[in-house]
C-alpha cells in the first residue's frame, strides 16, 4: 500500500523532484546566479583597480582590453544581472514584508520581468551603439 498525492509519495522510490519549474523556482535560481555574477565582477574590479598602484602600465593594458566588443557584451550582461537582481530583491522584500505579498508573488514576477525588459531593450541599444558603429560602420 502506498499513500500518494501529486508530487509526493510515501513509497521507497521517489516520483520526481520537489521542484516543478514554476516562476518562483526560476527567479530563485536567477537571483542566485546574478548575485554570484555581480560578486565575481566586483572582485575582479577591485583587483584590476588595485593594479594601478602596483604597475600603472599594466593597469593601462588591462583597461585597453576592456574596450573590445566582447567586453561590451559582458557589460550589457552585467547591467542586466544587476537590474534583475535589484528588481527581484524588491519583489522578495514585498513578499516578506507585505501581508499580501505571497498571494501576489507570481504576478509580481511577471511585473519585474516586464520592467526589466522595458529598461534593458533601450539600454542594450545605448550600451552597444559604439560597438555597432565600430563593427559595421555608421548607424545613421
Q: pLDDT by residue (tens digit) across 11-28? A: 555 555 566 667 888 899
Helices (H), 7-104: 23-54, 56-65, 69-97
Q: Are 133 and 81 in contact (CB under 8 A)?
A: no
Q: Which CATH number fits domain 20-136: 3.30.565.10, 3.40.50.300, 1.20.1300.10, 3.40.140.10?
A: 1.20.1300.10
44: CB partners within 8 A, 6+ apart: none
DSSP class of residue 3 equals: -
Q: pLDDT by residue (tens digit) across 75-121? A: 999 999 999 999 999 999 999 999 998 899 899 999 999 999 999 99
Beta bridge partners, 8, equal 5
- Sign of the dihedral defined by the CA atoms of residues 112, 31, 27, 81, in that order: positive
Q: Pick from 24, 25, 34: which is nearest to 107 by CA?
A: 24
The residues spanned by each domain of the chain are 20-136
Q: Are 94 and 101 in contact (CB under 8 A)?
A: yes
pTM, to two decimals: 0.77
Mean pLDDT of the chain: 86
Amino acid at each position: 500500500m502506498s499513500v500518494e498525492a501529486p508530487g509526493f509519495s510515501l513509497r521507497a522510490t521517489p516520483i520526481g523532484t520537489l521542484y516543478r519549474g514554476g516562476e518562483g523556482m526560476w527567479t530563485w535560481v536567477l537571483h542566485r546566479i546574478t548575485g554570484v555574477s555581480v560578486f565575481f565582477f566586483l572582485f575582479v574590479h577591485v583587483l584590476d583597480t588595485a593594479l594601478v598602484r602596483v604597475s600603472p602600465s599594466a593597469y593601462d593594458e588591462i583597461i585597453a582590453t576592456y574596450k573590445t566588443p566582447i567586453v561590451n557584451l559582458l557589460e550589457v550582461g552585467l547591467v542586466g544581472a544587476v537590474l534583475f537582481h535589484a528588481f527581484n530583491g524588491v519583489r522578495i522584500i514585498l513578499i516578506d514584508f507585505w501581508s499580501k505579498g505571497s498571494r501576489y508573488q507570481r504576478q509580481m514576477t511577471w511585473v519585474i520581468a516586464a520592467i526589466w525588459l522595458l529598461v534593458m531593450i533601450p539600454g542594450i541599444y545605448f550600451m552597444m551603439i559604439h560597438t555597432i558603429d565600430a563593427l559595421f560602420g555608421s548607424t545613421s
